[in-house]
Amino acid sequence: MATHKERQVTQHVQKTSFTRVVTQVEQVCPVCQKRFWGARIRRYCSQPCRQKANYQRHQEQYRQVRMERYRAEKQGQEQ
């Protein structure tokens, strides 16, 4: 009976790295009017400014949800 020779599989791993070049431009934050440097796609200077802009865009919806929650809680306390 013939025996088969076991085949060893070798794997070649080549490490590569890619460098992106992102052009930095000077911009003005639309919320606080502060000048900052960032990529072209960046709109706001910081996370708090981004959150404030989001709240201002959806202000009525946030207020309506808050009032509904308040009224439901108040109804629960009266009964």
pLDDT tens per residue, range 3-13: 677 767 666 67
d(CA 66, CA 30): 26
Cα distances (Å, whole numbers) of residue 53 to 57, 66, 70: 6, 18, 24
| Residue range 22-68, pLDDT digits in tens | 889 999 999 999 999 998 899 999 999 999 999 999 999 999 999 99
This prediction has a pTM of 0.60
